[in-house]
Structure 1
């Protein structure tokens, strides 16, 4: 007789839409239903990494002499789709660091000189397939914000 390995899968749904998947070998918990976008904390470490990936993409695409960095993540959503997709609304601002400098963005200060000061509001979708080490910015759309009042009062229909 040939031995056959069977894995038992149980799905339990709670009121708060958290999914618990119980395997014979152990318990795994996922706070996100596969395929369904959900809000996530803007302070989440993975959200911050996705925002940084957004900034790297912007810096590589722009012709600006200076580097930009994220200064605020206004909204974030997460979706499980063969990896994890993050949908972000992020404020990025011009720093004092030039692109010619090989520098850490965390050490770059925001540009305060009025003629050089610039802020952008960016919507991005970042796809992370952690098990193969892929992080890809799928969508990046930025618009200039002329003052902070517009940033705080405007709302995105996407998020």
Structure 2
């Protein structure tokens, strides 16, 4: 009986230790403010603006004007929480996909601040927009 009790205590200790270890690996620090590498930044922001333009009902395309903030979190890939300023271009959505279109000025000028959660597995060039919220600048 005493040996069985010790075995149960030992099993409980091993289980608690394993749970603590797994919690350590799965409980990463959460989002941290870190600069993106140039390659990850270009790929992530290009994906974001294409996704935004595909979802938008605006006649004109938008482009990223300024990266304001980047936070990242490691999961099964990399999650980026990015805040960007985007602006309306002079290019119409069904005429071109050119990312270097000039920005609108005067009457049709429009800028937005967007906060987006983008999941990426950069080593296989996979991106997914999980959440996006844009407000007039």
TM-score normalised per structure 1:
0.63
- The answer to whether 1:48 aligns with 2:42 is yes
CA drift of 1:38 comes to 1.6
CA drift of 1:45 comes to 3.2
Report 1 or 2 for greater relative contact order, CA contacts < 8 Å, sequence distance ≥ 6. Answer: 2
Question: Residue 30 of structure 2 corresponds to which residue in structure 1?
Answer: 36
Q: Write out aligned runs for 1:102-117 (5 A).
A: 102-105=96-99, 107-112=100-105, 114-117=106-109
Change (3 A) 1:44 1:77: farther
Change (3 A) 1:63 1:136: same
TM-score normalised per structure 2:
0.73
CA drift of 1:34 comes to 4.6
| Unpaired segments ≥5 residues, structure 1 | 1-32, 146-159
| Unpaired segments ≥5 residues, structure 2 | 1-26
- The Cα RMSD (Å) is 2.0
